[in-house]
Amino acid sequence: MLLHCVACDAKYAQDPMLYACPAKGCDSPLEVLYEPAEFAKATSFEGRGVWRYRPLLPVDRAVTLGEGGTGLHPCERLGRELGIPRLYVKNEGENPTGSFKDRGMTVGIALARSAGSRAVACASTGNTSASMAAYAARAGLTALVLLPAGKVALGKLSQAIAHGARIAQVEGNFDDAMRLVVELSSKERSVYLLNSLNPYRLEGQKTLAFEVCEALGDAPDALVLPVGNAGNISAIWKGFNEWKAIGRARRLPRMLAAQAEKSAPLVAHLRDRSKPCRVENPETLATAIRIGQPVNWRKAVAAVLDSGGEAGTVTDDEILAAQRLLARTEGIFVEPASAAPIAWLLKNRPKDLETVVAVTTGHGLKDPDAMAKAPVTMERVKPELAAIRRLLDS
Ligand code: F0G
């Protein structure tokens, strides 16, 4: 197992504390690479969830809450509406803390332990902090979370509080918090960084691709997901490639990235590669993906281009409409960011795709305020049957 720099191609021996390429002037994210002999040994997968894929993970089981193994739900009614013959929703809200982050944290916390760290830290728009706080509690580690002040949904914040994290409300956005936590963890070696800059965390997240391929018998035509810091798209694309490399999938999917209109650095960069992958003052009500400087942009660009995929934007209104449509047609309630892929499909109505997997990354209860703003009248009625019957007939 090696660490590989996605920018300058340098290779390093495995080191749990190495998050960015140490080559002079590089500082780019690294990825975990397996030797052919390690792939050759990955022949048997047992059990359920993330740890089923232990032969393709960088560490043995350490701290688990039963992550992974989420439902891949066929969505016929919504598929008909979108003109997609086989639409599936991979519902990551079914993870223990309600988001896909748990797949990565179970692995990342194990690495933190192996590195001898007593404290773990992250910058977060909410879900990473909720997940990290839970797994840190489970492992008996101190959790430090840096959040953009006033911009974290209530469900996520209450999770970080419940699990006993030390919480800094940074007067700035996610990108400011990210810069600070990277600086802190590079100066304080005792603080282990668990953002998606950490290549080991992403190894856990790649297992979503394995689960999808196992359930469908091969990769789908396309996989569509919301993109913020761009760790998940990178991890899932790596997963599809590895599953193919060990001979278990015949093909690779197109990777479709959905971003919020005013927080879409990846979309802007793919349109004009001479511009940096960066947006100042990102805004969206899908606060999970309110990110202007994605640390994994280079990996995400490769995922989209190498897969023949694309990246596009959706507006906040389109996100809210998609959130309600998914909840009403299929019974799946997701947070606003997680509705972005459904909004993307509604907007683009792709004609050439038969089997599509939409990844819904976080549970709807994470952000109860978003639905509380929906235009619904809840009638106050007298405690009489007649009034209630009227509602049924309306
Ligand atoms: N969806 C949800 C619900 C998220 O919480 C995030 C990221 C994403 C999508 C985007 O994933 O960053 O890997 O591209 N949330 C991070 C956090 C940034 O701090 O919880 P990404």
More confident residue, 134 or 369: 134
Type of residue found at 46: E
pLDDT at 387: 87
Residue 38 has pLDDT above 90, yes or no: yes
pLDDT at 358: 98
Average pLDDT value for residue range 359-386: 89
Distance 40 CA to ligand 1 centre (A): 33
The share of the chain scoring above pLDDT 90, in percent, equals 91
Place 52 in a pLDDT band, splitting at 50, 70 and 90: very high
pLDDT tens digit sequence for 174-224 = 999 999 999 999 888 889 999 999 999 999 999 999 999 999 999 999 999
Residue 162 has pLDDT above 80, yes or no: yes
Average pLDDT value for residue range 50-54: 97
Reading the block at residue 22, the tokens are: 């140490």
pLDDT at 375: 76
- Computed over every residue of the chain, the mean pLDDT equals 96
Residue 125 Cα: closest atom of ligand 1: 19
Closest CA to ligand 1's atom 15: 288
Distance 79 CA to ligand 1 centre (A): 25
Residue 159 has pLDDT above 80, yes or no: yes
- What's the distance, Cα to Cα, between the start and end of the chain in Å? 63
pLDDT at 192: 96
Distance 390 CA to ligand 1 centre (A): 43
Q: How far apart are CA 310 and CA 20, in angstroms?
A: 27
The residue with tokens 């007298």 is: 382
The residue with tokens 């911009």 is: 151
pLDDT at 363: 98
Q: How far apart are CA 181 and CA 167, in angstroms?
A: 12
Pocket of ligand 1 (CB under 6 A): 99, 124-128, 196, 226-232, 288-289, 335, 337-338, 361-362
Name residue 313's beta-bridge partners. Answer: 259
Residue 92 Cα: closest atom of ligand 1: 3
pLDDT tens digit sequence for 239-256 = 999 999 999 999 999 999
Residue 123 Cα: closest atom of ligand 1: 19
Distance 330 CA to ligand 1 centre (A): 23
Distance 247 CA to ligand 1 centre (A): 30
Residue 232 Cα: closest atom of ligand 1: 13
Please give, one letter per residue, the 3-state secondary structure of the chain.
Answer: CEEEECCCCCEEECCCCCCECCCCCCCCEEEEECCHHHHHHCCCCCCCCHHHHHHHCCCCCCCCCCCCCCCEEECHHHHHHHCCCEEEEEEHHHCCCCECHHHHHHHHHHHHHHCCCCEEEEECCCHHHHHHHHHHHHHCCEEEEEEECCCCCHHHHHHHHHCCCEEEEECCCHHHHHHHHHHHHHHCCCEEECCCCCHHHHHHHCHHHHHHHHHHCCCCCEEEEECCCCHHHHHHHHHHHHHHHCCCCCCCCEEEEEEECCCCHHHHHHHCCCCCCCCCCCCCCCHHHCCCCCCCHHHHHHHHHHCCCEEEEECHHHHHHHHHHHHHHHCCCECHHHHHHHHHHHHHCCCCCCEEEEEECEEHHHCHHHHHCCCCCCCCCCCCHHHHHHHHHC
Q: How far apart are CA 273 and CA 180, in angstroms?
A: 27
pLDDT tens digit sequence for 258-268 = 999 999 999 99
Distance 229 CA to ligand 1 centre (A): 7
pLDDT at 372: 80
pLDDT tens digit sequence for 315-362 = 999 999 999 999 999 999 999 999 999 999 999 999 999 999 999 999
pLDDT at 377: 77
Closest CA to ligand 1's atom 9: 226
Question: Ligand 1 test: best mutation among 92, 95, 102, 125, most atoms within 8 Å of CB?
Answer: 125
Distance 127 CA to ligand 1 centre (A): 7
Question: Ligand 1 test: best mutation among 224, 232, 284, most atoms within 8 Å of CB?
Answer: 232
Q: What's this model's pTM, rounded to 2 decimal places?
A: 0.97
Q: How far is CA 325 from the centre of its chain?
A: 21
pLDDT tens digit sequence for 266-310 = 999 999 999 999 999 999 999 999 999 999 999 999 999 999 999
Residue 140 has pLDDT above 90, yes or no: yes
